[in-house]
A and B are shown apart, each in its own frame.
Chain A
Amino acid sequence: MRSDRNTAAPLGLKIAAGAGLAFLHLPILLIFLYAFTTEEKSYQFPPPGLTLKWFAVTWNRPDVWEALGLSVRVATISTAIALVLGTLCAAAVSRTKFFGRETISLLVILPIALPGIITGIALRSAFSFAEIPFSFWTIVLGHATFCVVVIYNNAVARFRRVSGSLIEASMDLGADSFQTFRYIILPNIGTALLAGGMLAFALSFDEVIVTTFTAGQQSTLPIWMLEELVRPRQRPVTNVVAMVVVIVTFLPILGAYYLTRDGDQVAGGGK
């Protein structure tokens, strides 16, 4: 794993690596930069002037608050649903042996392997087939499908490390199933659930594709941004919101990384 300290990378490789990283991250810096531009109709470079007024404009736009509120609520509730279902599923798969265990494991992970557009179309046709009107809850359901995977992957890795005899020891000492879960299982898988929950929240918060198919008239923050880009006026407002999204999703992912870096990796982190 670790490279030899004494062999320095050749200069060409360093430049290539630097260029690669720059290609990945410079556009994000540009987004930040244009949040401060005085030009509101187009993204001209260099910006003709710098201003902080877009922050105030954004603050006073009710549609931004509406979209942000919706996104936060959707992400919170999808994550909550995923935490319950993902943990239960992980417990069943790692603790017991039953017919079809491997199949269930695969089926749970499938939504993350499927392109979002398939999940989206499938859910949309399922909703219209069952005559369920599009609402807040259809968005939540759509997001929960891939949030469950993240929680499941994190929990299942940790469950495998909690030895079965710990649970037997707890039962042997007089703890019933609920006490065993609360005092033994939860403390041992807690950080994995927290990390998985943060990732799930971040995934839901910036999800566009599935949302497009499962939302009605409502706009989550990413959808709102997509719509806003085609409008000519007050463009830097989108950039301000983008900065907020980056910060809101980056912090949980960073947190998840630090919570799980000793031991298992954050599995399924890249949807």
Chain B
Amino acid sequence: MTAVLFQQVSRHFGAVRAVDSVDLAIAEGEFFAMLGPSGSGKTTCLRLMAGFEQPTAGHIEIFGETAEGVPPYRRNVNTVFQDYALFPHLSILENVAYGLMVKGVAKAERLKAAEEALAMVKLPGYGTRRPGQLSGGQRQRVALARALVNRPRVLLLDEPLGALDLKLREQMQEELKALQKSLGITFVFVTHDQGEALSMADRIAVFNDGRIQQLGTPEEVYKRPATRFVADFVGSSNVLPPEFVETLGFGRHHASLRPEAIALGGGDGRTQFTGRVTAANFLGAANRLTVDANGARVAAMLPASIAVPAQGETVTLSFQPEDLHTMDGA
């Protein structure tokens, strides 16, 4: 079943087209990421789903029901806010039980449910504290528990890991993914971090300028970017100019080529080209080689075990023809 459906949805703020004719269908139980730079429309799409914004044009359905005009408090959708938005005057337990309290669930019952939700996010026994007494990571878990205790059919997450440090972020990524699997709830996740989207999502919608540039699985988006923007934004792909692609024998198109698809030296059936080394960086697990090939700047990711050519040296590089992905238009 389709959890969230957008048909030609637009949201304009005056002359600004924050969301412009977006079509998307999110399946039930899916972990769906909306990826894009700030101002690309991804957060506005999330707010349209939550009900904080109304579309200027188009149609939204949540589980088959029309969502336009339905206020946030009548939607079976909950949000984890970017700044967590915990209520500072309430204890952690009261925060988590808030959704049940306003729905009129009896006190004993809602506090028990809140305790269970806190245990689920690994914060048992934190109920009596105040939001101000918790760390950022803990507040994030409380925000998650507060949303999940209402058993929403769709959970919206607005850059939930943005404020956490790297180590904590990686840990929370795994936990969120595991939580989503065990609960079976549809997660819609907004992020500007392509690594986060690639590692967690079942499908990714890449946003730019209020439009979806590409919608597909992480592998599709990563390996076969539909536009130069996607190639540029998702990972660090080489976007090759048409003149250079033509010399390689692929026609006069822009093309994307992943740095890790390029190897030093030639080989059977591989497409070769030569370039002058402009930089070589040691990255730990790999070396990153940047070459100037007929004016095109190409980066290659080489295993650390291979000796790195010196700067200024001319080297031969090659790749499997199917790794080069030509793109039309912008």
A residues at B contact (CB < 8 Å)? 163, 165-166, 168-176, 179, 183-184, 187-188
Instruction: Among B77, B81, B103, point to the contact of A168 (Cβ < 8 A).
Output: B81
Q: Inside 8 A of B78's CB, which chain A residues have their CB?
A: 172-173
Taking CB as reference atom, which chain B residue is nearest A176? Answer: B73
26 A-B residue pairings within 8 Å (CB atoms): A163-B83, A163-B85, A165-B85, A168-B50, A170-B87, A170-B102, A171-B71, A172-B50, A172-B52, A172-B72, A173-B73, A173-B98, A173-B99, A174-B73, A174-B102, A174-B103, A174-B150, A175-B73, A175-B98, A175-B102, A176-B71, A176-B73, A179-B102, A183-B98, A187-B89, A188-B88
Q: Inside 8 A of B87's CB, which chain A residues have their CB?
A: 166, 169-170, 184
Cα-based distance from A170 to B77 in the complex (angstroms): 13
Cα-based distance from A176 to B74 in the complex (angstroms): 9
Cα-based distance from A171 to B50 in the complex (angstroms): 10
Contact B81 A173 (CB under 8 A): no
Contact A169 B73 (CB under 8 A): no
A sample of 11 more A-B contacts (CB under 8 A), given A163-B83, A168-B81, A168-B85, is A163-B85, A165-B85, A170-B98, A171-B73, A173-B102, A174-B99, A175-B73, A175-B98, A176-B102, A179-B102, A188-B89
Cβ-based interface call for B79 (8 A): yes
Q: Inside 8 A of B73's CB, which chain A residues have their CB?
A: 171-176
Give the one of A166, A168, A173, A184 with max B CB within 10 A: A173
**Number of B residues with CB within 8 Å of any CB on chain A:** 25
Give the one of B51, B52, B87, B99 with max A CB within 10 A: B87
Q: Inside 8 A of B88's CB, which chain A residues have their CB?
A: 166, 188
Cβ-based interface call for B276 (8 A): no
Q: Inside 8 A of B146's CB, which chain A residues have their CB?
A: 173
Cα-based distance from A183 to B81 in the complex (angstroms): 19
Question: Across chains A and B, which 9 residue pairs bring their CB atoms closest together, nearest first?
Answer: A173-B99, A169-B85, A165-B85, A175-B102, A171-B72, A187-B89, A172-B79, A174-B73, A179-B102
- A165–chain B nearest beta-carbon distance, Å: 4
Cα-based distance from A144 to B250 in the complex (angstroms): 80
Q: Inside 8 A of B147's CB, which chain A residues have their CB?
A: 172-173
Q: Inside 8 A of A170's CB, which chain B residues have their CB?
A: 87, 98, 102
Q: Mark B188-224, 1 if CB is under 8 A from A, else 0.
A: 0000000000000000000000000000000000000
Q: Mark B76-115, 1 if CB is under 8 A from A, else 0.
A: 0111011101111100000000110111000000000000
Cα-based distance from A80 to B110 in the complex (angstroms): 36
- B295–chain A nearest beta-carbon distance, Å: 49
